[in-house]
A and B are shown apart, each in its own frame.
Chain A
Amino acid sequence: MNMPAAATAPPARRLHGAIAAEVPVSSSMRRLELELEEAVPFQPGQFCMLNLAGEPALVFGRPFSLLAAEGRRLSLLYKVVGRGTARLRDAGVGAPVTCLAPLGRPFPAPDPRPHLLLAGGVGLPPLLAWAERWGRPSDLCCAGGRDGDDLPWGLLGSSWRVSVDRPGALPAGRQAFDGNVVELARSLLPASAPERVVLACGPLPLLRAAATLAAERGWDCLVSVEERMGCGYGVCRGCVVPRASDGGYATACKDGPVFEARGLDWTRFGGGGGT
């Protein structure tokens, strides 16, 4: 079985710019818009390394998946999970930034097989971007959140199926599966369901469950990993994930962040959070 070729994107450029907008889109998720020197043509699944340009900058930029680009405006979603993301939230509109983008190996463009998109939490942006660019009615798009408030409903079109870990209030007219996003997919796709290509992005337990589902069904599966990064462009070897082929490591930033699930050694995979 041949995996689809990764879409190509131009090399990354270091761009200066400023925060143009910063708004909450759910109880935990925020949308950040940057106005940069140049447009950033990107492929879904690629990311940027973003740092504040004012003194004192963070020692390292922070990696963020890219959501959308329009002209010189670049959008991403993020959660405040540590010191760096808190600094970004508090920097305010107009704060100068430095952005290296687009980086990393993207999700592939679709082949004729229907796809299954599994997004958890802040793993949404690359799959929202993929569905926006390439989604077809035959693709099944699933997004999971902790509860109804955790999900950015304004970004999730009606074609997205939704799961929540904790039942509770939902927007009028919307429904949610009670469980995690992979359980949602299992409930919709019986064992006899036709072959799909799985694209997954989210926390490590989601990626692990997605890889397990795909392995059980004999489907291809691509996962986008989230790791603590230093450089974002392949030189520091800080953001490694265990490779299945030789017991060694691949870099999340340059060899990934999108990997074939069967190319990773899940028994050695501990994952790393963001800051």
Chain B
Amino acid sequence: MTALPGWLAFDPRGPLRLGSRDFPGRIWTASGCFGYGLDGADLGAPGRGSPFDGLGAVVTKTVTPQARCGNPPPRLWETAHGALNSIGLENVGLARFADEVMPALEASGVPYVASLAATRPAEFGDMARRLAAAAGGAAHWHGVELNLSCPNVAEGGVDFGRDPAMVERCVAAAREHLPARALLAKLTPNVGSIAKLAAAAASGGADGVTAINTLIGMDVDLRTGAPVLPRRRGGYSGPALLPVALARVDEIVQETGLPVVGVGGIATIEDALKFFAVGAVAVQIGTAQMSDPFAAADVAAALAALR
């Protein structure tokens, strides 16, 4: 595709304002798919610059209050049209993220969004407060994306993200400490009405929502009859998700009108344009970024080249 489609309601080549922040672009990388935004800077390709060129934001690997070593392997399983993962939120923890990762990101100049997960609503507020205190003047820190897919340990073990009231509480807790950063809630598709979750996030003060997180999936090894992942079920991502994600983004836009950052199976400029067509304000490249470090930069370059 070489021409900007005439049917677009806005020019996706331009910058994006979300809340009080101006993002330099609308092609982002998805959480968990490009590390903390610090790996890959030394990678090259003929005729190309850095894998970060043209990106609107890198959404970091999800950070939790304490460091986590993640799940035992195998953690990844490819299917015919997607990938199952059970990484287990392996991460360096909030203290090292604030003390080491954020300064390195600031030095690199990569625009970034910090992905946060917690096991209690109040912890989201506490994490937001600590990040804001540690990096109040950070120029390239554009926002926070709440990963609400973890079990709520304190209140029955049900995922935060499936209960609209809980989504609102988590968002509100973080919003209080983040007046000057964009705040997004990443929504699970594993519910009946995703629009109700989006509306709840908006009630809590979110500037927009990210849709969708992974589907729940599993596969079975026919040699043993056992699940391929040690924890049986995992997150399903990749090309198979695109129509599902597109429908969920459309549902949110149609029913709430909220800003949506679309994610799910996007690998090409054509994929991205489908999300812009249904009203997404930006898109994230996830699984495709894992298989090609230049995937998002390629899409950003292709978008910029549309005339």
Contact = CB atoms under 8 A, between A and B. Distances in A.
Interface string B40-75: 101111101000000000000100000001101111
Nearest to B290: A231
Given A235-B33, A235-B35, A240 B70 contact: yes
Interface string A140-172: 000000000000000000000000000000000
Contacts of B90: 237, 240, 249
A89 B291 CA distance: 20
B87 A234 contact: no
Contacts of B239: 56, 59
Interface in B63-108: 69-70, 72-83, 85, 87, 90
Contacts of A49: 291
A57 B83 CA distance: 13
B143 interface: no
B62 to A, nearest CB: 11
B292 interface: yes
Contacts of B70: 237, 240, 248-249
User: Is the contact region of chain A dominated by helix, strand, or loop, or is it mixed?
Assistant: loop
Q: How large is the interface on B (under 10, 10 to 19, 20 to 34, 35 or more residues)?
A: 35 or more
A59 to B, nearest CB: 5
Interface stretch (A8-16, A113-121, A195-203): A8-16
Contacts of A238: 73, 75-76, 85, 87, 290
A239 B76 contact: yes
Nearest to A272: B74
A59 B287 contact: yes
Interface in A218-275: 227-231, 233-242, 246-249, 254, 268, 270, 272, 275
Contact of A233 (B39, B45, B87): B39
Nearest to B83: A59
Contacts of A59: 78-79, 81-83, 238-239, 287, 291
A61 interface: yes
A13 B45 contact: yes
Nearest to B90: A237
A38 B265 CA distance: 30
Given A13-B46, A249-B69, A236 B293 contact: no
A268 B80 CA distance: 30
B119 to A, nearest CB: 20
Interface in B195-234: none
A235 B290 contact: yes
Most buried by B among A14, A98, A254: A14
Given A60-B290, A249-B90, A272-B74, A230 B83 contact: yes
Contact of A14 (B45, B72, B287): B45
B72 to A, nearest CB: 7
B78 A14 contact: no
Interface in B248-265: none
Most buried by A among B43, B61, B81, B85: B43
B73 A227 contact: yes
A84 interface: yes
Interface string A33-47: 000011000000000
A229 to B, nearest CB: 8
A51 interface: yes
A58 interface: yes
A181 interface: no
Interface in A54-111: 56-61, 83-84, 98, 100
A137 to B, nearest CB: 38
A13 to B, nearest CB: 5
Complex A-B, nearest 3 residue pairs according to Cβ-Cβ distance, in ascending order = A238-B76, A235-B35, A11-B42
